[in-house]
Structure 1
């Protein structure tokens, strides 16, 4: 049960130690990169990091289906059996689901793919949030699905270590889980709890922000490891230099701007930002093109009745998407499953799809040869345009911000940054800047996360993404809205007041607690103090009910076993880390209290 609280407007003079430890002494650091489209892991021993930071092991034995293709990552797909128990992850899940669909035995199974985007900008995310499976007809708790995926990757990594006869057990491993820097605090807590359900102890886990991790990796690469631009040996990472990190993934584009400090440390110059402009947007544009050719009813029938063929079509586009180049001419051929043409004929009373294409606006840009649809490369390249335009405009907006003055380099990382079309768009629009792309851009995040796990102190400060504050009650003042006025023991009070702790864009040092505040239980018999926490996109909101404000969660301070009469509780928050932390104590006795955030209470 939640309890209301009063706020003491006087600044607390509490000088208690609220220090936070960021260092791990584990023998091995293992990072899990749980991506929108592909996932993987990497690890290194502490002794390796100290002698050769570049020595980071990734799993390179993901087998892509029956073709026995070796992949550095595996698809982020999860298959559950009809009884909702876990069956498989990655290529195995994809292949099994396609096999079931071919035999029309898939309807009772649960197949989830690209579900990571359900956490992006989700302001109502909770532990009860559900996500639909591939059919759209069945749902499962999102946290359970994420925990299945994390558990699979964790166990796969542990087996990898066991097969190498390292003699390690899980208590020797410090885990790092990557998340986009643009995710909100609820999503980060959601992933931490999912990892806990997957068997990773909370005290053995650290959250790493993806673009930051990628930058840390690129800083240690020799110059020959960059496929474009110049490497660290050319002065990009010297003290005083400023650069932008563009982490282009399958679901999101995640941007941060950093400055290199003395002592090889980094500070963030511009708050993390970005949007849903990843590689999956190009996939969506491709399917929309097919919809315009055959019609929405045909696509729905095709997806419902021919799941295996749909997977094959998307796989083929994924391959063609990676190979298309800005200077490509002629046409690109796509094998169209016979089931799609059959669905078209059934819904359109026997009409011939080949002839029907000639009646569409695409007549001059497409033609049908055998079982293949040939599309002008100019049209294929157009599928990238809206995505690349959004990315370019966002980068321009950031670079035009005064805090980005002096930034002369763009570091492109993430799987989507390997796309030639996106590379060309950025190089063309930012020809005055140095564009750097590591040769293994798709692994930069997970390898950098390993480095972050060994030395998280590299990042010394970040920019607050929001204005953070708590909802308080104070004495009513002239100018306060009348509808917020109420009385307590004959005194006029004002409700819903936004008490600011940190301002949007403010530089916050890692590990440094800010603005201790004092709170008092309203009643002497309460067992906890609950402090509602709000965020705002405004610099200085007055009330938590303003349009710019959103409820983020609550701070819970347990008081059980304490005498709470006339008790003052000092609450202190730390904003500079990859996750917010909170500590509290009784001011009179200096007794530490186990305060914690709950961002999933919606």
Structure 2
């Protein structure tokens, strides 16, 4: 390693503050990854976008298209939207400020645990957790590896989750070491979490449409992004629009309606669950394909200016020995407005 040149690219959730990013870079520097100026940092949805847009190019990309990348992981769901600026080389700009929420697949685990607890009763559930931990671990593992990924209410009328060692109990749904869960029960576990994801994506879609853009596709990546139920719900949500009423003379209002009701393709690229790390490697190898981003905050500097009795209150003024005149302080000069588009050199 001492003779091999290594460049580190760190990833972080989209919702992290600048302070959190800076703390991470400081920790990486102290860990021997190089100076803070040498270490690259990229948000997880941006890294996922780097990989996925490369993966689907050139079949689905056209200059001017807007794509939303939904990186659904274990704890968080992060979203970011890009507009295609050029194809060769592939260059994009942010078309909406990245958003995110705490609605990852771990919250399905919490809801599954509550379901089992309600079925068994708190006393029996606590007894299982203390005396038969492997029983619980086996049931949870099956839920994580099969139910979360493969559940489809059209194909699975019921699912048998293994809980070996628990006695039969018809009321609790226990039979021969399995807890029988109906499609309705599983849907009840999934739906509140999946609805939060749909609402987050809808927020990005609305933001782009309000700015006059058209969303061409939604790219679903991350571990939770492999969920068949989540994929089908997003497809249903964004492809359920009824056709607009026929008119012989299309107007601007008609075009707006078409844009607002147009269906959006939802895609799951190959290796989507490793999209973040693949995108981080591509960032290190090929550099930045994002040429501009939306500002997350207003940026400005404070300054002092000459007192003007028509603009300023007398109580605000002070005498400056340096300038030998009355001045007022704490004025603001705004350089970058929130949500404005800025080149990477300015970010």
Asked whether the two chains share a fold, i.e. TM above 0.5, the reply is yes
State how many pairs are aligned: 313
TM-score by length of 1: 0.47
Displacement after TM superposition at 1:486 (Å): 8.8
- Matched residue SS, 2:68: strand
Greater helix share, structure number: 2
- Please point out which of 153, 174, 179 is paired with 1:368: 174
Distance 2:123 2:299 in 1: 47
Q: Does 1:511 align with 2:335?
A: no
- Matched residue SS, 1:240: coil
For structure 1, the 5+ residue unaligned runs are 1-167, 222-230, 342-351, 359-365, 513-575, 577-602
Q: Does 1:330 align with 2:157?
A: yes
Q: Does 1:354 align with 2:187?
A: no
Displacement after TM superposition at 1:180 (Å): 2.0
Distance 1:378 1:454, change over 3 A: same
> RCO (CA 8 Å, sep 6+): is it higher in 1 or 2?
2
Q: For 1:181-192, list aligned pairs within 5 A.
A: 181-192=14-25
Distance 1:469 1:337 in 2: 63
Displacement after TM superposition at 1:305 (Å): 6.7
Q: For 1:111-130, list aligned pairs within 5 A.
A: none
Distance 1:481 1:372 in 2: 76
Displacement after TM superposition at 1:399 (Å): 1.4
Distance 2:58 2:161 in 1: 43
For structure 2, the 5+ residue unaligned runs are 240-262
CA contact (8 A) 1:337 1:371 kept: yes
Distance 1:197 1:336 in 2: 46
Displacement after TM superposition at 1:446 (Å): 0.8
CA contact (8 A) 2:150 2:229 kept: no
CA RMSD in angstroms, aligned pairs only = 3.3
Distance 1:369 1:181, change over 3 A: same
CA contact (8 A) 1:270 1:403 kept: no
Distance 2:152 2:313 in 1: 60
2:228 alignment partner in structure 1 = 420
Distance 1:472 1:426 in 2: 49
CA contact (8 A) 2:138 2:162 kept: no
2:99 alignment partner in structure 1 = 273
Distance 2:332 2:128 in 1: 52
Greater strand share, structure number: 1
CA contact (8 A) 2:168 2:177 kept: no
Q: Does 1:399 align with 2:205?
A: yes
1:243 alignment partner in structure 2 = 67
Displacement after TM superposition at 1:447 (Å): 0.8
1:198 alignment partner in structure 2 = 31
1:377 alignment partner in structure 2 = 183
